[in-house]
Amino acid sequence: MAAEALGWWGVPLGILAGTLRGSAPFLFVSLGECLTEKSGKINLGLEGTLLTGAMSAYAVSYLLQDKVGSALSPWIGVLVAGCAGMVLGFIHAWLSQQPKVNDIAVGIAMIIFGSGIAFFFGKPFIQPQAPQLPTIDLGGWSSIPAIQSALKISPLFILGVLIAPLMFWFFKSTRWGLFVRAVGDSPDAALAMGVSIPKVRMLCIIAGSFLAGIGGACLSLYYPGLWSESISSGQGLMAVALVIFARWNPIQCLWASLFFGGAQAIGPALQSVGIEQGRYLFNATPYILTLLIMVITCSPKKTLSGAPGALGTISG
């Protein structure tokens, strides 16, 4: 984007553009983790799911472009990324619900497993250029190319924005949402209601992993729009901190995702106006935020408001 042509006005414009582009993966992964944690389980393996989703979406978009056309193949890639996430989610759900099994240990194993799959099958697709998802141009009213470029919105971002209030309504106003909250807050109460705890948690983890897989497709088919082994940059793990920051509220996950996406864009926006000093510190802003959130919230003397009561307990 030619934000540097606007001088210092290019900084807020660059941050706005980076927020709209970079927050979509955070949004999908955090909503997926929010759904999972509401059922009382933690899925640290979403980093591996994000990478697998990014690789599978890019590979499918590239391989199918000659068969179904470059307009349809990215959308099939998005669907395949979600399905790949569901497969990893099923493995995580099955393993984490075995007796005496810890969620954290399974999550770390799934990070390695998902990353390994993505790296192994993704090597042939590092160089080829796959068709990208289309964008919705909201900057047509302006004659400034930088503004037009900044306001190119991904349909997946809009989909994520719509899912956030829908998920809030699901938890608050539906019978199945009540079951999920009961399983996550008080398994004994859920059992008294006749709810199958393993079934609810299995469905939540699989659905959450589906969303995380689509988050991976946002990375490879929209922004930055390529496939490489370092494309996620730890966003799957940062989403866990983001959900804590959002207090397990889907609406607040939306605002927190925009905040993290904006923080990610500070460094590139400053570089666009020629500020190079301290760029590594600005580029590390999302990681610093994650660290601060974990330090502030992990005190054993604090009780986190909104945290599901049975979150992270060992089954069996």
* Average pLDDT, integer, range 137-142: 81
- Neighbouring CB atoms inside 10 A of 261's CB total 24
Burial of 98 (0-12, 13-18, 19+ CB in 10 A): exposed
**pLDDT over 60 at 315, yes or no:** no
* Average pLDDT, integer, range 96-107: 90
Q: What does the pLDDT read at residue 262?
A: 86
- Neighbouring CB atoms inside 10 A of 257's CB total 30
Cross-strand partners of 136: 153
% of the chain residues with pLDDT over 90: 58
* Average pLDDT, integer, range 153-165: 95
Q: What does the pLDDT read at residue 280?
A: 74
What burial letters (b/e) apply to 152-165, b meaning 16+ CB within 10 Å? bbbebbeebbebbe
**CA 195 – CA 179 distance, rounded (Å):** 7
pTM of the model: 0.91
Instruction: Identify the helix (H) or strand (E) that includes residue 219.
Output: helix 197-221
- Angle (deg, nearest 10), helices 73-96 and 46-68: 150
- Angle (deg, nearest 10), helices 175-185 and 10-38: 80
DSSP E strands, the chain: 136-137, 152-153
Alpha-carbon distances, residue 226 vs 2, 33, 221 (angstroms): 20, 24, 7
* Average pLDDT, integer, range 138-156: 82
Greater model confidence, 17 or 257: 257
% of the chain residues with pLDDT over 70: 91
**pLDDT over 60 at 316, yes or no:** no
